[in-house]
Amino acid sequence: MTERLVTLNDVSVQFDGPPVVDRINLTVNRGDVVTIIGPNGAGKTTLIKAVLGIQAIATGDIWLKPGARIGYVPQHLILQPTLPLSVRRFLMLTGEPEAACRAALAQTGVEHLFDASVHHLSGGEKQRVLIARALARSPDLLVLDEPAQGVDINGQAALYDLIRDLRDRLHCGVIMISHDLHLVMAATDRVICLNQHVCCSGYPADISTDPAFIKTFGQKVAESLAVYHHHHNHQHNLHGDVVNSDDGTPPHEDCNHHGVH
C-alpha cells in the first residue's frame, strides 16, 4: 500500500510583490523520486524550504506524515577555510552517534574519508559527505537541492545513480532540484516543471513533448531530451566511470551518455 509522506495543497509563498511560488499541489510517497526543474528564479529552493518548514507559506497547507524524518542536502556548504574540520566532526555535529555517521558514509561510498579534512575533499566527495550527513538521521524523506552542483559530468551521473540506489535500499521518498536535465531524466520517476506555478508535470519520457515545457526551456532542449531515452542499463562508480549493473565490469564501448541505450 502506498505510504504518503508529504502533501502540499495550494501552497503559495509571497514576499513583497507577486507570489514566488503560486498554488502548488504536490504529493510525495515513500519510494518516489520527484525532481523539480525550472529556470533560475522559478521558486524551486523556496518551495523545498517550505516543505522543510523553514519558509513560511502565505496560503495553503502542508501535511507531513507524523513522525517522518527529513534529511536535507543544501545547495551550498560554506565553511571558513581557517576552521579545522574533519569529516568525522562535521557529521557528528548532527548529534547522531559515531556508528550511524560511519554507516552513512559507507552508504555513500566514502567511509574512507571519515578522518579526512572537509576542506580537502573533491566536489564529488563533498557532495557524498553532505548526502551522508542527511542519511545519518535515517530519513523517511530525502530532500536535495542541486545535489550534483560543482561536480563534473561523470561525477554527476554517479551521484544520480547513488540517489536512486539509496531510494531502493532505504525505501525513502526523494525530492530533488536539478538543472542537469539530461542526467536527471534518467534518475527520476516524476518531473515537476516549476516557474512560480507548476507549468507541467509527468513521467520523464513524456515531459519533453509538453507545450509548457517547450515554452519554458525552448525547442532545442525539448528535442535533445526527446532523443535522450537513457534506459540506464548500467551504473557509474565513485569516479563516474560507466560500469555494467550486474558485475561492475566496463560496458561495451558504444555505451555512453549521448544517445539511446
- Is 13 inside any structural domain? yes
Residues 55, 105 within the same domain: no
Q: Both 125 and 165 in a single domain?
A: no
pTM of the predicted model as reported, rounded to 2 decimal places? 0.81
Q: How far apart are CA 80 and CA 60, in angstroms?
A: 38
- Report the DSSP beta bridge partners of residue 143: 72, 175
d(CA 31, CA 170): 9
What distance lies between CA 136 and its chain's CA centroid?
17
Flag whether 60 is in a domain.
yes
Is residue 152 located within the same domain as residue 226?
A: yes
- On whether both 245 and 171 belong to a single domain, the answer is yes
Reading the block at residue 113, the C-alpha cell is 574519508
Shared-domain flag, residues 204 and 129: no
Q: Would 58 be classed as within a structural domain? A: yes
Mark whether 43 and 169 lie in a shared domain.
yes
199 in the same domain as 252: yes
For residue 24, the cross-strand partners are 11
Which CATH number does the domain housing residue 174 bear? Answer: 3.40.50.300
Write down which residue in 97, 118, 138 finishes a domain: 138
Q: Over its length of 261 residues, how does the chain's per-residue pLDDT go in tens digits?
A: 689 999 999 999 999 888 999 999 999 999 999 999 888 888 999 999 999 999 999 999 999 999 999 999 987 777 777 788 999 999 999 899 999 999 999 999 999 999 999 988 888 898 999 999 999 989 999 999 988 887 887 788 888 889 999 999 999 999 999 877 777 777 788 989 899 899 888 887 777 777 887 887 777 777 666 554 444 444 544 544 545 544 454 544 333 433 333
Alpha helix positions (H), 116-255: 123-135, 153-170, 181-185, 204-207, 211-217, 219-226
Residues 143 and 209 placed together within one structural domain of the fold: yes
Last residue of a domain, one of 138, 155, 182: 138
Residue 74 lies in a domain: no
Is the domain of 98 the same as that of 130? yes
Please identify, among 107, 138, 169, the residue that sits at the C-terminal boundary of a domain.
138
Q: Are residues 50 and 122 in the same domain?
A: no
Q: Which domain does 123 fall in, by range?
A: 79-138
Domain match, 40 and 106 both: no
For the chain, the domain total comes to: 2
Q: Is residue 162 part of a domain?
A: yes
- Looking at the fold, whether 60 and 115 belong to one and the same domain comes out as no
